[in-house]
Amino acid sequence: MITYVIFNRDTPSQRLAEDLAGRLEKEQLQVEQMDADSARGIQFTENYDILGRPAVALVRDDGSPVQIWQGEDGMPTPSEVEYLAHG
């Protein structure tokens, strides 16, 4: 599974997203950070219907979503993501 952390560059959500990504990596999770305004980020957010920033998407290797969290108030704890990723 891959945990995607999506944010808008040069916004307060970027700092929050980067901090969360670092904590997720400490939990031995595969993490990819993504700028929502990049070509790949736009395609990703459209495919998974992600509107809030920052966002975290836990995705299986086949591309199917396990869980998506959106917005600053909706961010998961690293233990929540770890539980779903390894549970």
Residues constituting the chain: 87
Task: Print burial letters for 28-62: b (CB count within 10 Å at least 16), e (below 16).
Answer: ebebebbbbeeeebeebbeebebebbbbbbbbeee
Q: Does the pTM exceed 0.85?
A: yes
Predicted pLDDT at 87: 73
Residue 3: other Cβ atoms inside 10 A? 26
pLDDT tens sequence across 6-34 = 999 999 889 999 999 999 999 999 999 99
pLDDT tens sequence across 34-82 = 999 999 999 999 999 999 999 999 999 999 999 999 999 999 999 999 9
| 8 Å CB contact between 13 and 53 | yes
For each of the domains in the chain, give its residue range(s) and CATH number, in order of start.
2-86 (3.40.30.10)
